[in-house]
Amino acid sequence: MNALRFSRKHLGIPYIIFLSVFVILPLVLIVLYAFTDSEWHFTLNNFADFFLRSGNLKVLAISFGLALLTTVICILIAYPVAYVLAQSKLKASGIYLLLFILPMWINFVLRTAAVKELLYMLDGLGIYDVSENYFLSTIIGMVYDYLPFSILPIYTVLIKIDKSAIEASMDLGANPVQTFFRTTLPLSMPGIMSAVTMVFLPTTTTYVIADTLGNSKVTIIGNLIKTQFDAGTAESWHVGSAISLVLLVIIFASMLFSGKLNENDQKGGASKW
């Protein structure tokens, strides 16, 4: 009889079923597809195929190269902005922060399109040559799209830094530059790290930016996966799953490395607000 009575615990049941069917099962399927051929026999060929094809390694290198450059540029721009905003005693600093976050709410394809329109206008004016600079355009687009995502986590950490740590450093005789490099910067590392994960991983796969601004001349991992799934041959889904699995392993390895899979993984979503 007891089992039939309503209890708060029962509310978890549909959730657990949903998680099992649409989160756990899909992961199992990716692994299954990655290690089998079209006849469902075990094989490592999908991985061999991926790693041995020289073009693919180049794509991997390009993806990570673009993502690394984008991340570095984003942090180099975002840090000073976040620092100035966090320092300012203005009442209006909340409004300024809002101004930096606002573009994040515009649809991301439309935002990328806006950059494309700007670059083509500059091309028309003879200032910028689109056809010569597909990689540069892609990086500009990526930085533009992900900059707001890097300002927010750094700002959140900077504003929480205990002012007395900075005063202590000054009192102990450090000049402002020393104070910054030996107190403020190390204390803000968590913010930088979370900005890095919010920019680096998405940029390795968002082929929308590469396609729109690189005129399909710039191929990243995301394109590889998409191509496999669009190909529609018996093998292609298995190869596509293998690439996805490689990506997933890289992601989880880097998560473990930066200790992100713990308590504070709520940041990812919460920081959009």
Partner 1 sequence: MVKKILSASIIWLVLALLYIPVLLLVVYSFNASSEIGIWSSEWNLSLYKMLFSDEKILSAIKTTLLLAISSATISTILGTAGAIGLYYSRKRTFKIFNIVTQIPVVSADIVTAVAIALTCSILLFPRTYASLLIGHVVLCFPFVFTSVVPKLKQMDPNLYEAGLDLGASPRKALFSIVIPEILPGIVSGFLLAITLSLDDYVITTFLKPSTIDTISTYAYNAYAKNAANTSIPALRALSAIVFAIIIILVVVNFLISNKKKKEGN
CA 129, distance to chain mean position in Å, is: 28
Rounded least distance, CB 15 to partner 1, Å: 3
Rounded least distance, CB 42 to partner 1, Å: 17
By the rule CB under 8 A, 257 interacts with partner 1: no
Distance CA 270, CA 273 (A): 6
Closest CA to 138 of 69, 78, 235: 69
> Which residue from 2, 54, 131, 266 is in contact with partner 1, where contact means CB under 8 A?
266
- CA dihedral (207, 210, 211, 213) in degrees, to 10, reads 150
Give the amino acid at 210: A
By the rule CB under 8 A, 198 interacts with partner 1: no
Residue 59 · residue 219 · CB < 8 Å: yes
Kindly tell me the burial class for residue 259, based on how many C-beta atoms sit within 10 Å of its own C-beta (0-12, 13-18, 19 or more): exposed
Residue closer to partner 1, measured from CB, 92 or 172: 92
> Which residue from 8, 41, 89, 163 is in contact with partner 1, where contact means CB under 8 A?
8
Rounded least distance, CB 69 to partner 1, Å: 17
> Which residue from 75, 195, 196, 247 is in contact with partner 1, where contact means CB under 8 A?
247
> Which residue from 88, 181, 253, 259 is in contact with partner 1, where contact means CB under 8 A?
88
Rounded least distance, CB 186 to partner 1, Å: 22
Among positions 149-188, residues that touch partner 1 (CB under 8 A) are: none
> Which residue from 59, 66, 137, 211 is in contact with partner 1, where contact means CB under 8 A?
211
Residue 236 · residue 229 · CB < 8 Å: yes
Bridge partners of residue 36, in order along the sequence: 42
